[in-house]
Structure 1
Amino acid sequence: MSKMKVAMIQMRVVEDKLRNIEIAAEYINEIVTENVDMVVLPEMFCCPYKTENFPIYGEPEGGPCYRMLSSIAKEHGIYLVAGSVPEKDEEGRVFNTSYVFDREGNKIGKHRKMHLFDINVEGGQCFKESDTLSAGKDVTVFDTEFGKMGLAICYDFRFPELSRLMVEAGAKVIVVPAAFNMTTGPAHWDILFRTRALDNQVYTIGTAPARDESSCYTSYGNSMAVSPWGDTICHMDEKEGYRIVELDLDYVDRVRNELPLLAHRRKDVYSLLKNNTIQNI
């Protein structure tokens, strides 16, 4: 089986944590009538994107939000890339974490954002995730019946080494829950998703919150999907909604065979060293 249908949900984020999950569930109830295989939610889809919110909204793995998301995946028999949520560990640290559930509601992937979004653009966005978040350290690849997929969160996607490590671990799709803002989004969103798709000959999928000018953090929106040839196959605007795309993972093999970019790497001259663990559940 090589073809799969993936739905991207671009939703607004409200202050009520559980209401956000209910909103996602309402979208999924509608989407599953179209026989989708996987649903992808945005970064911090249940928590307004503000540093001081992360410890307040944070829950341990297995908490109420986790259980609700697992239940949704099982109820509808879908793969669910559950955007990202604030996760608290036993030591009280908080991570920006994405869980992936299979069709039975079992966790098959977990990624803690590795690169914390600490920026200060003159005349633009200023944000410092490290005020309340800790950084993850694992490269995340998970298995499906369609093939292996990589998982990154937002700012992670700016670092090409991470995507390449996922591809070296077998990924044919890279899924990215993200929340670019009105400074970085117009400048870099499209370029990054097309470039990573071309560099690695993979499908790239970026799912963002809908734009809300009244929120504490204004998301760029524009959720999109790109083919391994670099074609934009789906591009949303800033509004709430969802889009469904069909991915053909055999097409990844075809592109890599016809333009053997990965095979032509000069490993006798350069290599990518890995000092971390690859999470492949």
Structure 2
Amino acid sequence: MIDRCVSPPASVSMQTARAMAKFKLALVQLLVSPVKSDNLRRASELIKQAAQQGAQVVALPECFNSPYGTKFFPEYAEKIPGQSTQMLSEVAKECGIYLIGGSIPEEDSGKLYNTCTVFGPDGALLIKHRKIHLFNIDVPGKIRFQESETLSPGDSLSVFDTPFCKIGVGICYDIRFAELAQIYTKRGCQLLVYPGAFNMTTGPAHWELLQRARALDNQVYVATASPARDEKATYVAWGHSTVVSPWGEIISKAGADESIISADIDLQYLAEIRQQIPIHTQRRHDLYSVEEKK
């Protein structure tokens, strides 16, 4: 596989090089229902629509096949491979795209995980990211949620290669931990994708702020795919799936309803930002560092 993040061979034309430095990302903001088969069918339809609109990389939201909630995780959990991941594999292959499959409740050896699978254009499984940081919060009078009541945390970081660039994956609460984004950037990622489901308390306060912070801190593109808002659900998602540029600008954003948004990921622009404000070469590694545990 050609790594299009590095300089192309001299024989490659400048036009081809420019084309390789830009690709189209789409985020599917799915309205998740209590019926798993309906969620899979609708997700498949919207992924295909995104591909027909030119997307080369498509991402789904967190818990795209299941209502979000600790009481739902055991009921909707699947092994991997299973029904939901089989659909993702098939549609990725049919459309010839890289598909970031949001997340599903996964059952493995008696434990439950919040898991994102990524499939390549040939339908092969590229990575399986289990949510590292479990969403355990208590905001008095507003929201209390404890994923650890049913879920176990993942214990590995997740990066995959495309012909365009390396992409790092986190799930929702993972975005609050700046070290993860820093390590992904050190690994060479130029796009970070976080399927997420912020709620009506944390969404308006922190959803956009965290995305822009991770993008600006690391000079990378950041994309977040949320479920659409369902006011009748026991957990109401904020929506507002978003793509943020390395300059910290919002370049595409959904509202609250089910939709597809897209953005061009321009790696030449990213390189220019890093050249203009060269924080990656100006870090004081003699004074501090963020290291990945081996």
Identify whether the pair has TM-score above 0.5, normalized to the shorter chain. yes
Normalised TM-score (structure 2): 0.92
Counterpart secondary structure, 2:184: helix
State the Cα deviation string for residues 1-28 of structure 1 (Å, max 9, x = none): 1111111111111111121011011112
Query: Which residue in the other structure is 1:36 paired with?
Result: 55
State the Cα deviation string for residues 106-164 of structure 1 (Å, max 9, x = none): 11122110000011101211100000000001111110000101100000000000100
Q: Could you list the runs of 5+ residues in structure 2 that have no partner in the other structure?
A: 1-19
1:149 & 1:143 partners in 2: Cα distance?
6
Query: Which residue in the other structure is 2:13 paired with?
Result: none
1:140 & 1:11 partners in 2: Cα distance?
23
Query: Which residue in the other structure is 1:247 paired with?
Result: 265
1:181 maps to 2:204: no
Query: Which residue in the other structure is 1:52 paired with?
Result: 71
Contact 2:44 2:87 in 1 (8 A): no
1:199 maps to 2:187: no
Normalised TM-score (structure 1): 0.96
Query: Which residue in the other structure is 1:226 paired with?
Result: 244
1:134 maps to 2:152: yes
1:28 & 1:140 partners in 2: Cα distance?
22
Contact 1:139 1:165 in 2 (8 A): no
2:186 is aligned, of 136, 161, 168, to 168
How many pairs does the alignment contain? 275
Query: Which residue in the other structure is 1:279 paired with?
Result: none
Counterpart secondary structure, 1:157: helix
- What amino acid maps onto 1:170 in structure 2? G
Q: Could you list the runs of 5+ residues in structure 1 that have no partner in the other structure?
A: 277-281
State the Cα deviation string for residues 167-214 of structure 1 (Å, max 9, x = none): 011100000100000000000011001010000000000110001110
1:69 is aligned, of 88, 97, 104, to 88
Query: Which residue in the other structure is 1:216 paired with?
Result: 234
1:92 & 1:82 partners in 2: Cα distance?
23
- What amino acid maps onto 1:43 in structure 2? E
Identity %: 46
2:242 & 2:215 partners in 1: Cα distance?
12
1:15 & 1:194 partners in 2: Cα distance?
32
* CA RMSD after TM alignment: 0.9
1:92 is aligned, of 101, 106, 110, to 110
What's the CA shift for 1:85? 0.4
Counterpart secondary structure, 2:279: coil
1:180 & 1:52 partners in 2: Cα distance?
18
What's the CA shift for 1:53? 1.1
